[in-house]
Structure 1
């Protein structure tokens, strides 16, 4: 699996767990720190998609994966399908 994709999903899932988890002192700061950690991965990943629509489709799939509605393997398949150039 692509290392950037793997790190992105680890951080994304962790951030999702914190956002949806119980409140605690410092939660907002933790969420902000996690957003800052994930931003460089998002930027790198966005550059691999030829259109914003493709990236949005991937982002929707990443959310499904974080919620357990899609496996990591399925997300990886979506990622490669959307980032692999199609030649006529």
Structure 2
């Protein structure tokens, strides 16, 4: 999420009633919770992380992956969020 720029963009686009959830490996991203985002820290290649996240947040309408840039990370993310 780096500095949260894209989260703020989506919040502006969808409005204040939108539930915007961010996932990052770096715990410093938790600072974005003060801006009204739900932030979860974890490894996107971890099936356990995705199972835990899905149990906490339930179904989502839109997923934007701009995280890891390695094939394994992207495949794991798609597999876990689409199943």
TM-score after normalising by structure 1: 0.27
Q: Larger % of strand: which? A: 2
When the two structures are superposed, what TM-score results if normalisation uses the length of structure 2? Answer: 0.28
Instruction: Flag the structure with more relative contact order, 1 or 2, with Cα contacts below 8 A and sequence separation at least 6.
Output: 1
